Structure 1
Amino acid sequence: MIVLRDEKRIYRLGRLAQVLSMAGLAVLVGGLLLIFISDSPSVFLFQLLALVVGYGFSQVGLHYAHRYLRRPRMDQKLDEAVGAVARRDGRLYHYLLPASHVLLLPSGVFVLVAKFQNGRITAEGDTWRQTGLGMRRFFGRENLGNPSREAEAQVAKMKAYIAANAPAAAEAPLWPVIVFTAEKIDSLEIKESRIPAVHASKLSKLLRQQTINLKPLPRAEYDALRAAFDAPAAHLIEETIDVTPAAE
């Protein structure tokens, strides 16, 4: 399997996460100290401003840290998770296309929406909930959000990208999959969701089920997709990493 990832972006946004987190902490501490070093009648307003700015910096830093600093990163977990189904002809693109993680197979394209959250994850239709965190929900957490809407938005971006850059393959199959990459997750219960969601350990099985009865794309369509997906990674092609998972 060929894996292409924007390492420079990962490094840059990882550093940004560190800077924003430290800046947020500094602003919060500074706001706390204002009451001891200032006798201005407006000190409360300055403290409130410091709280808002510091919290904002910290949250943005946390957002980037979860994606670009935590080990193993989500993209690294996906490398392992796609498994033998992509071993021969898969091409996995990280942070190079309008969707963060895209898997190109001879039979079509998968948009992998990676989520790091753990606990008890439930979905009924398009309503998602994360419970079972206890006090952990107050420390260094990021809300689950709505993975279904996130997946739909990424698919729409990929469709637009393909239509503009590989019009010959505009009708190629495009499937979204929500993938939870946390090492341990208490439970994942999905009911009547339009978009499949699995733990990373079961991704390979799902991909196999989705593609086992599909015919390969016409060669012209596949080549058009590959050329369009490779274009943003032209600077990486000569340094391509061939990741070949062990047979299951």
Structure 2
Amino acid sequence: MRLKTNKRLARRNRRITNYLFFGTFAALIGGFIIINASLFTPDVPDTLTLIAQSAILPVAFVLTIFSVRMTNLWARRPRPEDAIAGGLKGLSNKSVLYNYYHFPARHVLVCPQGVFAITTRWHDQRFTFRKGKFRSHKNILSKFFSAIRFDGVGRPLRDAEYASSRVQRAIDAVADDVTVQPLVVFIDPAAEIEFEDEPSLPVLYADTKKSPNLKDFLRDKKREMDEAAGDSKTRNANLMPLTDEQIEAFEAATT
């Protein structure tokens, strides 16, 4: 499998993540000093202290939110591109995994089984899937802090549908007979999902030791395609959903 990653974007965002971390740390220290300024310099006017407090605390809060979000998306391990690639070992060498080129689809896979827009979740928690929603098993306090940080699991099914629709536009420009399929993949091996209802689209693990996982899903899909295709000549004629020329055109237009 060929990997094509927007390394420049990934490096830049990881660098921004580091800046945000130190900026948040500095803002929190500055806020502590300003709040307790009267202990160090009694001559500081109360009005000035109040204004400074009103300014620094919201800034520190916003920086904290952005820092946590950027860390989860760009610096947290396992990194999505590595987890997906690791889960796809053994996939056809004609396959291509694109990382960070087709936002809001952060990952796009082109392989014999089709074209897939992959929406990932980094969360390492236990969830129950019921009535179209993922419900966390966290306690109330953890849910409260998660809500403040805006780092909940959100609505991955909706996000995956939207991401696939955006990739579909790019694919339609080079091949109007190919349907982009949405997938949701949890990349952390510690993630656990109990399915009380059947999701409207595949929800998978990147870890091959868990089920259902991405590798088994593609293997089963290939088996179904082979059975539907019948003889080997038909199978060989449909090895990839896009020709080499179409893949080149897709890359030229989007990467």
Q: TM-score, normalised on structure 1?
A: 0.80
Counterpart in the other structure of 1:246: none
Map residues 9-28 of structure 1 onto 2, 5 A cutoff. Answer: 9-28=9-28
Q: Give the match for residue 29 of structure 2.
A: 29
Q: 1:83 aligns with which of 89, 104, 113?
A: 89
Match in the other structure for 2:165: 156
Structure 2 equivalent of residue 244 of structure 1: none
Instruction: Report which stretch shifted further, 128-137 or 58-67.
Output: 128-137
The alignment's TM-score, normalised by the length of structure 2, stands at 0.78
Q: Measured at CA, do residues 91 and 156 of structure 1 come closer, stay the same or move farther in structure 2, by a change above 3 Å?
A: same
Distance 1:22 1:220, change over 3 A: closer
Q: State whether structure 2 residue 56 is matched by structure 1 residue 55.
A: no
Letter in 2 for 1:18: N
Which stretches in structure 1 are left out of the alignment for 5+ residues? 235-248
User: Retained in 1: the 8 A contact 2:65–2:150?
Assistant: no
**Match of residue 249 from structure 2:** 228
Q: Which amino acid aligns with 1:32?
A: F
- Residues in 2 aligned to 1:206 and 1:220: alpha-carbon distance in whole angstroms: 17
CA distance in 2, matches of 1:115, 1:219: 27
Please state how far the C-alpha of 1:122 moved relative to its aligned partner: 2.1
Percent identity over paired residues: 23
Q: In the alignment, which of 123, 128, 131 is matched to residue 129 of structure 2?
A: 123
Aligned equivalent of 2:97, options 85, 92, 99: 92
Give the letter for the 1:210 counterpart: K
Q: What CA distance in whole angstroms lies between the structure 1 residues aligned with 2:196 and 2:204?
A: 9
- For 1:172, the equivalent position in structure 2 comes to 178
Structure number with larger C-alpha Rg: 2
Aligned mate of 1:66, from 48, 69, 72: 72
Map 1:177-192 → 2, pairs under 5 A = 177-189=183-195, 191-192=197-198
Matches of 2:157 and 2:189, distance apart in 1? 22
Paired residue type of 1:74? P
Q: CA deviation at 1:141?
A: 8.2
Q: Cα distance, 1:79 vs. partner? A: 0.5
Identify the structure with bigger relative contact order (alpha carbons < 8 Å, sequence gap 6+).
Answer: 1
Residue pair 1:181, 1:199 contacting (<8 A) in 2 also: yes
Partner Cα separation in structure 2 for residue 170 and residue 51 of structure 1: 52
Q: How does 1:138-157 map to 2 (within 5 A)?
A: 138=145, 142-157=151-166
> Which residue among 177, 199, 205 is the counterpart of 2:216?
205
CA distance, structure 2, for counterparts of residue 70 and residue 48 of structure 1: 32
Q: What do residues 68-97 of structure 1 show as CA deviations (whole Å, max 9, x unaligned)?
A: 22233111000011232x233211111122
Look up the SS of the partner of 1:93 in the other structure. Answer: strand
Q: Is the CA contact (8 Å cut-off) linking 1:172 and 1:217 kept in structure 2?
A: no
Q: Structure 2 vs 1, CA of residues 182 and 220 (structure 1 numbering), >3 Å: closer, same or farther? A: closer
Alpha-carbon separation, structure 1, partners of 2:26 and 2:192: 35
